[in-house]
A and B are shown apart, each in its own frame.
Chain A
């Protein structure tokens, strides 16, 4: 490969350009040898308002799943002149969406990229303190991030007086103690305050009143990792990376019964089929039936959607969400009812218990699905499940956990209804599954 080709490839895959096959971490020297921390230097030479506008114009959309414009989110923070005093930025590194493993990949291999991105975000909203809220269990990420923060601090890239205007930044790593709900930004803020991670009522939005009642911005890991490159290469470059309406690249992933599961940085808007092809296709003897496009809280899509572009608008138009962009594949040897039961069990367990539809609705759904999977279901259960999906839907709950939980269930009932019916008519799981096969104990009785 010629140098030109190498450079070309690097610029097309900015977030993963330093990721090495052997799994080792990028050192500060390696990172800096390839425009590392120059995006931050550029931001620090601009005014904070210019940085906000730059990122707003780049139309960088939140990579955590919601797809909200990062620059627009920042612009809701009141200017320092109007609201002086402490403000915060937080990196949401609480990756726990079932089927999602992209942020771990970015943090384990290239921690400086995240640190630089977070510093840029902090400067844009004039925060002098930045937290990385890292999920529990990501021990290797914690070790490598802390080392990289210390390196950046020692090199004067973080700390006091980072530019002529006197911008200073302290960066702190907080490792969580578990629970999926911490990924919800207001629950995350409560958790960082040392409380139970219940979501907060909005408004006020965190940008106005967040951590300790101060203006706070929470951005996903992958979103922040885009910032150094957008600042360094510019808005046009970023816009040209995307294939459709969205700009930049996306870390896509595939898991399930494929030959080569993994994640890859591709132009945002790459076709679903092309992403699955990178995963080496299905394993011998199994056929693809459907997929969750972006984690456990997204609606199933099927064969008819394989030619769609994986971007926010296209996938939403098809009735699902791109979510985290990490797909979970359903094959013909896997029981749909069992898979949905597994997802609902996760959401029922991870409900924080704050509001009734989620706290009571999800265990109710879990019980009906347990009965269906065990062959104890009835035809009217299916209508009942759809009704419950409505009860726990958007507008009825405090946060998006329960509406997200309803998505795989409602779409499974739409696309794979015959599988549910087969369980009822045969009085057992056609795949021979038992909902209590893992422990020999009834989960419901244990809880």
Chain B
């Protein structure tokens, strides 16, 4: 007979609490302000994840656990939310994220040529980060600028009417 392993919830709890990367002062204040908007602290989960990501570029396990503690949730619950949303990064990204719109209008107007040129230039596939840690290249669904297609976001800037040459130029400026 297989032995039944009894886990003590309280002990497990104590374990994950040891791996917490504490929230810094800014994160703590910004998350507290968001919690204030809602009747339940859990409602601030997405904001909390975005606040941490803004500080360190991505959401590490340690910070995710700190958010869980602050919002009175289990780390798995927070992670189930974090992994649902494509703009929450659960692994490190480059200093600049290039999000190339791959939806229908941009596809008609030359997305594939842009993607080929960009991945070849930096020898990095979409979904990956360049070895020097400068750029992460991501495909992204419709950016809502279809009249200026093809478009991309370089960091938080929308760039439009791209050609392979203009996109590579913009990307190079970020990687140098």
Contact = CB atoms under 8 A, between A and B. Distances in A.
A224 interface: no
B107 interface: yes
Interface stretch (A28-36, A134-142, A239-247, A269-277): A134-142
A176 interface: yes
Contacts of A59: none
B42 interface: yes
A194 B146 contact: no
A99 B119 CA distance: 25
B132 interface: no
B51 to A, nearest CB: 11
Given A177-B50, A261-B146, A438-B111, A342 B103 contact: yes
Contact of B140 (A86, A100, A137, A191): A137
A138 B142 CA distance: 11
Interface in B68-127: 71, 80-81, 84-88, 99, 102-105, 107-109, 111-112, 115-116, 119, 125-127
Most buried by A among B80, B87, B127: B87
A179 B46 CA distance: 13
A225 B132 CA distance: 46
Interface string B20-32: 0000000000000
Nearest to B71: A194
Contacts of A343: 104
Contacts of B145: 101, 104
Interface in B26-45: 37-40, 42-45
A252 B141 CA distance: 21
Contacts of B147: 101, 253-255, 261-263
Interface in A152-190: 172, 174-180
Contact of A180 (B80, B108, B112, B141): B141
B148 interface: yes
B158 A140 contact: yes
Contacts of A98: 103-105, 141-142, 146
Interface stretch (A48-56, A119-127, A393-401, A439-447): A439-447
Contacts of B38: 193-194, 212
Kindly state the interface size class of chain B when it binds its partner. 35 or more
Nearest to B111: A438
Interface in A229-249: none
B30 to A, nearest CB: 13
A437 interface: yes
Interface in A377-417: none
A433 B112 CA distance: 10
B159 interface: no
A296 B81 contact: no
A346 B105 contact: no
A174 B42 CA distance: 15
Contact of A100 (B107, B125, B142): B142
Given A101-B145, A334-B108, A438 B116 contact: yes
A326 interface: yes
A96 B105 contact: no
Interface of B: 37-40, 42-47, 49-50, 71, 80-81, 84-88, 99, 102-105, 107-109, 111-112, 115-116, 119, 125-127, 139-149, 153, 156, 158
Interface of A: 86, 95-101, 103-104, 135-140, 172, 174-180, 191-197, 212, 253-257, 261-263, 292, 296, 326, 328, 330-331, 334, 338-339, 342-343, 345-346, 349-350, 352, 433, 437-441, 446
Q: Which 3 pairs show the lowest CB-CB distances between chains A and B?
A: A177-B85, A194-B45, A255-B146
6 contacts: A179-B86, A196-B81, A296-B142, A328-B108, A440-B119, A440-B125
